[in-house]
């Protein structure tokens, strides 16, 4: 007894393979295009190093404004608690 697939099933499998192949090729081209654009942008517009103001940063590397804000928040929290 031989098993012969229905012609419509075979057409469905062909359509599925063509569709999946098309999506795979499209996504592959999309990845290549994005990587190429990223490389071109980095080549023509290199990232600018961020400059920090060394006078404002404490010895531990935390800005003085942050230290002052945290100290003020702690004082306010301690003052709001009942003894």
50-65 pLDDT tens trace: 776 655 555 667 778 8
- What is the rounded distance in angstroms from the CA atom of residue 25 to the CA atom of residue 33? 12
* Average pLDDT of the chain to the nearest whole number: 84
This prediction's pTM = 0.51
Query: Which pLDDT score is estimated for 55?
Result: 54
Is residue 37 within 8 A of residue 44, CB to CB? The reply is: no
- pLDDT of residue 66 exceeding 70, the answer is yes
Query: Which pLDDT score is estimated for 46?
Result: 87
Q: What percent of the chain has pLDDT over 70?
A: 81
Report which of residues 78 and 40 the model is more confident about: 40
30 to 14, 16, 38, 60, 83: CA distances (angstroms): 24, 21, 12, 45, 64
- pLDDT of residue 1 exceeding 50, the answer is no
Query: Which pLDDT score is estimated for 31?
Result: 98
């Amino acid at each position: 007894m031989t098993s012969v697939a229905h012609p419509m099933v075979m057409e469905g499998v062909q359509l599925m393979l063509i569709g999946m192949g098309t999506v795979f090729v499209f996504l592959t081209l999309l990845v290549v295009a994005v990587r190429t654009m990223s490389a071109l942008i980095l080549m023509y517009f290199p990232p600018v190093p961020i400059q920090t103001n060394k006078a404002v940063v404490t010895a531990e590397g935390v800005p003085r404004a942050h230290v002052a804000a945290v100290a003020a928040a702690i004082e306010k929290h301690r003052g709001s608690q009942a003894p």
